Amino acid sequence: MEGKKIILFDGQCALCSYLVRFIINRDSKKIFMFAPLASNSAKAILQKHGLSEIENDTIVLVSQEKVYLRAEAVFEIIKDLRGVYFLLGVFKVLPSSLNDFLYRLVAKNRHKLFSETPECIIPSSDIESRFLKDID
């Protein structure tokens, strides 16, 4: 897993599931790996980094043993996507407190704004290797 970046996401959220698919489709270098926050793999990663208590509305990026949360994670992710999405990084100049406020506002209302029932991500054989295997 050298050089891989791990994204932990809410597996019960339609918006999060959409964003995982969005990232997969634009990650031409295949550097991102994924795991739902509720999985044992994600819990082990969080515990390793001293984050055993994390809200399920928080996106987490682990890159080179550094952990990014919420808006900061989003900005780090978009830097590696194919296309013009890196331009969204311009919002990083805003105070991190404002970016996190906006992130939390969307996160708090994500179930109201997006479908109540997420389209479950069942990885096809071509992307199955991008999802961390759950550990017991």
Within 8 A by CB and 6+ apart from 14, the residues are 110, 111, 114, 115, 116, 117, 118, 119
Q: pLDDT, tens digit, for every residue of 32-86? A: 999 999 999 999 999 999 998 888 889 999 999 899 999 999 999 999 887 787 7
Domain total in the chain:
1
Expressed as residue numbers, the domain containing 78 is 5-122
Q: Is there a domain that residue 129 lies in? A: no
pLDDT at 127 over 90: no
Contact between 111 and 57 under an 8 Å Cβ cutoff? The reply is no
pTM (two decimals): 0.84
In a domain, 81, yes or no: yes
92 within some domain: yes
In a domain, 94, yes or no: yes
Q: pLDDT grade, residue 136 (50/70/90)?
A: low
Residue 34 counted as domain residue: yes
Residue 104 lies in a domain: yes
Question: Any alpha helices (H) in the chain, and if so which ranges?
Answer: 14-26, 40-48, 70-78, 96-113
Q: What's the CA gap between 96 and 93, in Å, rounded?
A: 8
